[in-house]
Structure 1
Amino acid sequence: MDILKTVVNYVLNLGSAVFVPLIMFILALIAGLKFKKSIMAALTLGVAFSGMTLVVNYMTDAIAPAGKAMSKAFHLSLNAVDMGWPGVAAITWTYKAAFLFFPLLLIINFLMLSFKLTKTLNVDMWNVWNKIFTYVVVLYFTHSSIMGFIVASIQIVLELKSGDMFHRHIEDLTGMPGVTVPHFVTLFAVILQPLNRLMDFIPIFNKPFDAEALQKRIGILGDNTVMGAIIGVLLGFGAGYSVSGSLNLAVQAATAMTLFPMISKLFMKALQPIADAMSGFMQKHFSGREVYIGLDWPILAGRSELWVTVIILVPVMLIFAMILPHNTVLPFAGIINLSFVVAALLITGANLLRMIVLGLITTPVFLYGGTFFAPVITNLAKQTGAVKVHAGQQLSWSTFEGPDFRMFFGEAFAGKWWAIAAAIIWLLVFVWLYHDQTHIPLPSQRYGAPAVAGNAASAVAAETDSSAEEDTSDSTNLDNIDGLDFGSTSKKSPGKDAEKTSLDDIDGLDFSDVNKNHKKS
């Protein structure tokens, strides 16, 4: 057992930026991709993860102080300290049974793939901490380790099925083939599902409202960089910053909004050759069976709708923290609500208007979730000794991941009848969501918006192949076709309405400007 613990801890200590590319490198070699291309793809993936982490942290470090300043302006004084997900994850990793969940995830994933119950191969092992924390929550309510392992196993199964149902939407939104996001945050789509379906009956929500459509409507104001600057400066003024402070925040937000889509192209560049190799491997050895590689949510971070939504929701969360009765959480470290926005992006197909409205409606769910689970997080911190807790103080997380799932299933396994009913309803809505997401049109087709995936994939393919090609432009050099045999071209005659050009039509025209560098024959 100690050997297993040592091995698991060593692997996980590598971090996602090293561990995930390492796994992808091995998979690429198994799939038959050449060693050089496998190395380049894996390294590029590591660079993409590291780059995205840097920019996410950059964005958070810029926005969080503004949120804190705004909370002071609102005179908020609440006793539950918001640690955000990094703080909760750090405490969770110190739990004595944490190392057992790594093999648990592998075993369940292997069995489901073997029996064709999923198409998702989850290599995002670092986020196993989510399963550990669910175990801790259930243990807190039930005092039973067995119950904790059962609910954590249910979560793993649901995450894999979530990866299956969102795969085609992720490819459409990002242009990345063969990948998906089996992350716990996607399961909040169960709560969003009824609300999102109600919006189907309201005309304004059924128009294209992604970043591209927005830019077409409002021009430069819809540009990523400009949107970031506008939101940043407004947030700065709202936080009571000076003009210079607000302008600095505007530039910081604009920087992040500009870099996100740039880094997302690195994900596509890394994953395209691996996905192609995996597709060929499955076609050859497993009769074309599909397998999706499960990665962390940052592969979606190139969508500007995600960041516009979370920044807009910052003051909204602070206002709710001030007015909601019985709320004890002061938003700070977790004020960027990634627990909501990933599911919202996927279920709405990047419809920005729907995402913002859903965020307005569901923000109280997270604050009350943080309040409800504050004793659990505080107790875990005391048990592990990872964080010192002062008298009268509680630790929490203002954008607590999966408050619905953990509350319903934790209390259900503790024998609470209302929670049992809620858990059953939750599972039924998940089945409804799964059916919907596997049948509804893709995001690029849902609201009459132009396709994203094809354009992105084409861009990446062109970039990948560009190392062996020269500059390509719309014009064609005559030297490139000189001496070629066109005898095999189609000999079909043009239709009746086809325009014909006679030699008389061009007789006397001046062609002196055409291809001056072409040698005379």
Structure 2
Amino acid sequence: MSVLGIVIKWILGLGAAIFVPIIIIIAGLIVGMKIKDAISAGITLGVAFTGMSMLIGFMSDAIGPAAKAMLTHTGINLPIVDGGWTTLSAIAWSWPYAFLMFPLMIGLNIVMLIINKTKTFNADLWNVWGKIFTGVAVAAVSKPYFGTAASIALAFIVAGIQIIFELKMADMYQYRIEKLSGIPGVTCTHKMGFTSIFMFPIDCVLKKIPALNKRFDAAALKDKIGIFAESHVLGFILGIIFGILAKYKVAAILTLGIQASCALTLFPVISKYFMMALEPISSAISAFMNKKFEDRTLVVGLDWPFMGGANEIWLAVFWAIPVTLLFSMFLPGNEILPFAGIVNNAIAVAAFLVTGGNIIRMLILVTLFAPAYLWVGTIMAPFISDLARSTGAVALKTGELISCSSIDGPIQTYAFSHVFKIMDGNFFPLVLCVIFVVCFVALYKYLGKEEAEGREIN
């Protein structure tokens, strides 16, 4: 088992740009694609993932120092180090039972496909670490109450529940994602979408306001303000604003403006490669399923970057940066310095999904939910730091705390991982779990009706 674990870690170490295309190529061959077509689609998908990762890294490297400079000028002391998602991933893969999450994830997916409880084939196996992290957290929290063996069993049970919710979430958003992205036969299985479950009731209230219940995506914004909504111009303006707030010199301000302009201009270009790669795969899988099962359509579940061509997401990301920084300075109870996670794709994608790309409602929801990421990052810091030390995943100094300011699906992550705190009389995580389920069911029905009636997204 240890050898298998080493092999799996090595394969995953290749990164999503290699691992996911391999899965896609294998799936393509299974459903009858020609070898050359499957390989071409897989390589194109690898190009798309690499291009998107390069752009996100480029933008983070440009914006991150500016964000840190903004906070430095305030003189506010925030002691918790923001290690970003890589810190959580490192902790997850340091768990001795981590590789067992693969058969659980694949097995549940197959069973649900067979019994017709999902239409999603989850090819995003690389992000299995999100389930592993939940398992690690559950095991650590429940061990004092139930012992080692029982806590490990509970870890896989809770992780299994998360896997099921991810598949059902992918099912319910597939119609909307296809309409928004223009890519048929794909959906998103990333748990960052869980924040949209909590956003849904508030979005319903916002839609009651006449001015907010109209189509207002990037195209509509362009109609309103013309050239200032063009990707390259808007990116340049936002970059200039960040440079000024960071008190950069003129040359650095202009450079940041061009860098932001470059990123916002190229995101839609890269997204076209996702479409080129995924269209033949999704068509082949649909044809295969139609032969095997009557009236069944199978869709492919992927990580979020294939939606990265939506300018609405990046406008929300840029908006979230100063909002998060402002909250970090004045939010009661926050002790985390947002840095590694300052480019928060998770909150923007969740807002994009639940609003259908309505920019105004997205910005409102981002503003309302930004504190949740900081609070959960702060609350879980001692817990994450202890895990980092116990697993040896991250070297920390005595008394040093580390966390993440952009935990994917922070409310759900905290609720699921800490639900057994009821043994200490803390019912808050359990209450959040109940709210999550109730809102999930309501949103599932709403989106199901939207798909059945073929309604326009608003």
Which consecutive residues of structure 1, in runs of 5 or more, have no partner in the other structure?
A: 448-521
Q: Is the 8 A contact 1:173 1:443 kept in 2?
A: no
Distance (whole Å) between structure 1 residues aligned to residue 317 and residue 455 of structure 2: 22
Match of 1:67 in 2: 67
Q: What's the counterpart of residue 390 of structure 1? A: 397
TM-aligned CA deviation for residue 424 of structure 1? 1.9
Residues 1:428 and 2:444 aligned together: no
Structure 1 length normalisation: TM-score? 0.83
Q: Say which SS state the counterpart of residue 450 (structure 2) adopts.
A: coil
Q: CA deviation at 1:287?
A: 1.8
Q: Give the direction of change, closer, same or farther, for the CA distance of 1:282–1:443 in structure 2 (3 Å limit).
A: closer
The Cα shift of 1:444 comes to 8.9
How big is each residue's C-alpha offset from its partner over 1:162-196, in whole Å with a ceiling of 9 and x where there is no partner? 11011111111111111110111011111101110
Instruction: Decide which structure has greater helix share.
Output: 2
Residue 206 of structure 1 corresponds to which residue in structure 2? 213
2:262 paired residue number? 255
1:18 aligns with 2:28: no
Within-5 A mapping of 1:455-470: none
Q: How much has 1:308 moved relative to structure 2?
A: 1.1
Show the 5 A alignment for 1:212-251: 212-251=219-258
Contact 2:411 2:432 in 1 (8 A): no
Per-residue deviation, 1:362: 1.0
SS in 2 for 1:121: strand
Kept after mapping to 2: 8 A contact 1:350/1:443: no
For residues 336-355 of structure 1, the aligned pairs below 5 Å read 336-355=343-362
Tell me what 1:124 maps to: 124
Specify every segment of 5 or more residues in structure 2 that has no aligned partner in the other structure, as ranges: 144-150
Q: CA deviation at 1:229?
A: 0.6
Q: Equivalent residue for 1:38?
A: 38
Cα deviation 1:433-474 (Å, max 9, x = unaligned): 111122237999234xxxxxxxxxxxxxxxxxxxxxxxxxxx
For the Cα contact (< 8 Å) 1:169–1:443, is it kept in 2?
no
SS in 2 for 1:145: helix
Shift of 1:68: 0.3
Q: Deviations over 1:95-131 (max 9, x none)?
A: 2221111111111111111111111111111111111
Correspondences of 1:5-404 after superposition (within 5 Å): 5-143=5-143, 144-404=151-411
2:134 and 2:416 in contact (8 A); partners too: no
CA contact (8 A) 1:137 1:406 kept: no
The Cα offsets for residues 335-369 of structure 1, whole Å up to 9 and x where unpaired, read as 11122111111110111111111011111111111
Q: Relative to structure 1, is the Cα distance of residues 171 and 351 closer, same or farther in structure 2, using a 3 angstrom cutoff?
A: same
Q: Note the C-alpha offset of 1:414.
A: 3.2
- Residues 399 and 389 of structure 1: CA distance in aligned 2, closer, same or farther (over 3 Å): same
Are the equivalent residues in 2 in contact too, given 1:310–1:336 (CA < 8 A)?
A: yes
| Alpha-carbon distance in structure 2 between the residues aligned to 1:146 and 1:280 | 39
How far residue 425 of structure 1 moved from its aligned partner, in angstroms, is: 2.5
**What is the CA-CA distance between 1:86 and the residue it aligns to?**
2.0
1:32 is paired with a residue whose SS is coil
Aligned partners of 2:313 and 2:352 also within 8 Å = yes
SS at match of 1:185: helix
Code of the aligned partner of 1:426: F
Q: Is the 8 A contact 2:285 2:299 kept in 1?
A: no
Q: 1:439 is aligned with what amino acid?
A: K
- Superposed displacement of residue 136, structure 1: 1.8
Q: Are 1:349 and 1:443, in contact at CA under 8 Å, matched by a contact in 2?
A: no
2:146 aligns to what? none
Q: Aligned equivalents of 2:184 and 2:81: distance in 1?
A: 41
Q: What's the CA shift for 1:200? A: 1.1
Per-residue deviation, 1:393: 1.7
Distance 1:228 1:335 in 2: 17
Rounded to whole Å, the distance in 2 between the matches of 1:445 and 1:422 is: 31
Q: For 2:216, what is the secondary structure of its paired residue?
A: coil
Displacement after TM superposition at 1:4 (Å): 3.0
Structure 2 counterpart of 1:413, one-letter code:
F
Tell me if structure 1 keeps the 8 A contact 2:90–2:394.
no
How many pairs align?
Answer: 447
1:216 Cα deviation (Å)? Answer: 1.3
Moved more, 146-155 or 282-291: 282-291
Distance in 2 (alpha carbons) for counterparts of 1:47 and 1:422? 39
**CA distance, structure 1, for counterparts of residue 261 and residue 455 of structure 2:** 26
Give how far 1:137 is off.
1.6
Contact 1:121–1:291, Cα closer than 8 Å, also in 2: yes
The answer to whether the 8 Å contact 1:373/1:396 transfers is yes
1:445 aligned residue: 456
Kindly state the Cα deviation for residue 47 of structure 1 after the two structures are TM-superposed. Answer: 0.6
Q: Provide the rounded CA distance (Å) in 2 between the counterparts of 1:374 and 1:418.
A: 18
Q: 1:485-496 maps to which residues of 2 (within 5 A)?
A: none
What is the TM-score with the length of structure 2 in the denominator? 0.94
Alpha carbons of structure 1 residues 371 and 10: separation in structure 2 relative to 1, 3 Å? same
Q: State the alpha-carbon separation in 2 of the partners of residues 384 and 418 from structure 1.
A: 27
The answer as to 2:420 corresponding to 1:413 is: yes
Q: Which has the larger radius of gyration?
A: 1
CA distance in 1, matches of 2:11, 2:360: 41
Aligned counterparts of 2:105 and 2:283: Cα–Cα separation in 1: 26
Deviation at 1:142, TM superposition (A): 1.2
Give yes or no for contact 1:279–1:288 (8 Å, CA) kept in 2.
Answer: no
Identity in percent: 44
CA distance in 2, matches of 1:39, 1:400: 34
Distance in 2 between residues matched to 1:113 and 1:3, nearest whole Å:
30
Deviations 1:271-327 (A, max 9, x none): 111112222222223224111111111011111111111112211111111111221
Counterpart for residue 451 of structure 1:
none
